[in-house]
């Protein structure tokens, strides 16, 4: 386990790269800090409505 410690520290020295899911404001803020960001327009299935999600699953959607 000790031999992995230098590896962990080296990760912290690398430039940050982020995948931002959903809320664009998070990606915008990171970009202003010169962080490389890939934005993905994502929303939870059925808009987060669990009952609607169960109905869609029954339909095979």
Instruction: Tell me the pLDDT tens digit for each residue of 11-61.
Output: 888 888 999 998 899 999 999 999 999 999 888 888 889 999 999 899 985
Integer CA distances (angstroms), 17 to 24, 33, 52, in order: 16, 12, 35
The pLDDT, as a whole number, for residue 28 is 95
> If you average pLDDT over residues 3-15, what whole number do you get?
76
Burial class (CB in 10 A: 0-12, 13-18, 19+), 30: middle
- Asked whether 45 and 25 are in contact (CB, 8 A), the reply is no
What is the band of 3 on the pLDDT scale with cuts at 50, 70, 90?
low
């Amino acid at each position: 386990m000790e031999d992995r410690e230098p590896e962990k520290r080296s990760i912290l020295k690398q430039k940050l790269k982020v995948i931002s899911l959903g809320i664009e404001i998070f990606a915008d803020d990171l970009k202003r800090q010169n962080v490389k960001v890939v934005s993905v327009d994502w929303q939870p299935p059925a808009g987060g409505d669990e009952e609607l999600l169960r109905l869609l699953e029954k339909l095979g959607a």
